[in-house]
């Protein structure tokens, strides 16, 4: 069986956020680079840099954490994988779900590349729903 790189990236980021880690290292592919660019642009992560080790490329992400000592720690990132290799979920641009009334984002793989739900609605394209982030 093949590997689900998108699920690995989402799980790595979610686990690092729950464990209050500041940095995460994930493998670099075109899909993961596009997803990380969206996360950076939307403000879910602070910084991204590319790292090469033993002829393999990695992305090192700097996560954003809330530091409030009065309240218990609360995760900033909530990520959920929707479409998976065993069950692909597709949607046209009119039926793309809104996460928390527009507060969260949906990452979609379209014929014009990987984009957020807002961009897909503006361009009028649908595609495969990869994940929800809120």
pLDDT value at residue 20? 87
**The tokens of 72 are what?**
């218990």
What pLDDT does 86 receive?
A: 94
* The pLDDT of residue 72: 59
CATH number assigned to the domain with residue range 5-69+76-133, chosen from the 4 options 3.30.70.100, 3.60.15.10, 3.30.450.20, 3.30.1370.30: 3.30.1370.30
- What is the reported pTM? 0.88
Domain positions in the chain are 5-69+76-133
Residues 6 or more apart whose CB falls under 8 angstroms from that of 121 comprise 93, 96
In this structure, what are the phi and psi dihedrals at residue 94, rounded to the nearest 5 degrees? -80, -20
User: Higher-confidence residue: 26 or 3?
Assistant: 26
Phi, psi for 76 (deg, rounded to 5):
-85, -40
For the segment 70-126, what is each residue's pLDDT rounded down to a tens digit? Answer: 665 556 689 999 999 999 999 999 999 999 998 999 999 999 999 999 999 999 999
Structure tokens at 2: 């093949």
Q: Are 112 and 34 in contact (CB under 8 A)?
A: no
> What integer is the mean pLDDT of 23-42?
96
């Amino acid at each position: 069986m093949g590997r689900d790189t998108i699920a690995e990236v989402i799980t790595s980021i979610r686990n690092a956020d729950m464990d209050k880690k500041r940095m995460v290292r994930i493998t670099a592919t075109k899909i993961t680079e596009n997803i990380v660019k969206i996360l950076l642009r939307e403000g879910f992560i602070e910084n991204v840099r590319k790292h090469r080790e033993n002829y393999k490329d990695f992305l090192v992400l700097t996560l954003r954490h809330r530091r409030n000592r009065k309240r218990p720690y609360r995760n900033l990132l909530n990520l959920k994988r929707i479409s998976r290799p065993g069950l692909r979920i597709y949607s046209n641009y009119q039926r793309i779900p809104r996460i928390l009334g527009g507060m969260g984002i949906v990452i979609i793989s379209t014929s014009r590349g990987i984009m957020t739900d807002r961009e897909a609605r503006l361009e009028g394209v649908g595609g495969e729903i990869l994940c929800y982030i809120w």
